[in-house]
Amino acid sequence: MTTAARVRLSIVVVLAVALLGPSGVGKTELARALAEYLFGDENALIRVDMSEYMEKFSVSRLLGAPPGYVGYEEGGFLTEKVRRRPYSVVLFDEIEKAHPDVFNMMLQVLDDGRLTDSLGHVVDFKNTILIMTSNLGTSLIGKRVSPGFLQESDEASYERMKDRVMEELKRAFRPEFLNRIDDIIVFHALALDHIKQIIRLMIGRINRQLAEKGIELILTQAAEAALVEKGYDPTYGARQLRRTIQKHIEDPLAEAIVRGQVAESARIEVDVEGTGFAFREAPPVEAPLELAEH
């Protein structure tokens, strides 16, 4: 964990941020990146799917079952995760789906920075960052999307949309809960350039894994455009991109490597062929000519 992160966490009880936006725009990915940046490990992300806590009794699953009930000795899902990893980002995904009693529990975390589980352990949350995501206002954000992709609009248009989303948020959550959130961030819908950047990031991750074998993967513009077409859906955002790249790029390449069809230190170019993709060996990058000594 960085020194700056420790200083920041020491001056607030618990830092809480809400991320609003359509499905597939990167809210969860941002939380994962924040965990890696602050704590040096993307596994420092504790994800709680709030759609699983819609019933009144579900709070006991977070804090632990009462004495005499099955699972009492195991403690709660949330409290045990934080107790074992106190420096972490806790992601409450789709917060609007949780039962009201869950919000009462969260108010205690935001006020006191701690929870007491069913075993009597006091669990400290003061070294965590709470991230809450919500799809509230998705229809309002979606109205900014023309057929195909988002066209960039002026800042005033975004602010008007954000104000309307905030009004919807105020109708859904109690004031005492919203007042304890340090910042609320409304995501844009994804534009075409964003999708291309996401593809390049994913290919970059693949290349880092291939670096051990000296293999480099290169996409042509046509291949990149085909991945955008196959992997992007305005309804689900970039959520399908990862599966699309795995199906059309990662899996065929891994199979070729296992079969010995790809040499070490090879540069593999991915291009479009018919309705699919073709893998070809690209020429090596020429080293710059050294200046002759005079």
pLDDT digits (tens, 9 = 90+) for 208-238: 999 988 999 999 999 999 999 998 887 777 8
**Neighbouring residues of 216: CB distance < 8 A, sequence distance ≥ 6:** 207, 210, 266, 267, 268
Torsion of CA 29, 30, 35, 40, to 10 degrees: 90
Q: Which CATH number fits domain 3-186: 3.40.50.360, 3.40.50.11060, 3.40.50.300, 3.30.70.100?
A: 3.40.50.300
Mean residue pLDDT across the chain:
84
Q: One-letter amino acid identity for 234?
A: P
Token pair recorded at residue 95:
């917060």
Give Cα separations from 16 to 90, 149, 172, 177 (angstroms). 9, 31, 18, 11
Q: Which residue has the tokens 């000296």?
A: 214
Token pair recorded at residue 170:
């105020």
DSSP string, 256-289: HHHTT-S-TT-EEEEEEETTEEEEEEEPPPPPPP
Q: DSSP state, 73?
A: G
| Opening angle at CA 245, ends 274 and 140, nearest 5 | 105
Looking at the DSSP assignment, which residues form a beta bridge with residue 268?
217, 281
Query: Whole-prediction pTM value?
Result: 0.76
User: What is the pLDDT averaged over residues 184-205?
Assistant: 89
Q: What gap in Å lies between CA 85 and CA 166, rounded to an integer?
A: 33
**Neighbouring residues of 162: CB distance < 8 A, sequence distance ≥ 6:** 186
pLDDT of residue 145: 45
Residue-wise pLDDT tens digits, 228-279: 999 888 777 788 898 999 999 999 999 998 888 888 888 999 999 988 999 9
Q: Which residue has the higher pLDDT, 4 or 272?
A: 272
pLDDT of residue 2: 55
Class of domain 192-282: mainly alpha
Domain range annotation of the chain: 3-186, 192-282
pLDDT of residue 288: 55
Rg (CA), the chain: 23
Residue-wise pLDDT tens digits, 70-90: 666 677 899 999 999 999 999
Token pair recorded at residue 265:
């230190």
Torsion of CA 43, 87, 57, 104, to 10 degrees: -130
| Opening angle at CA 82, ends 79 and 87, nearest 5 | 160
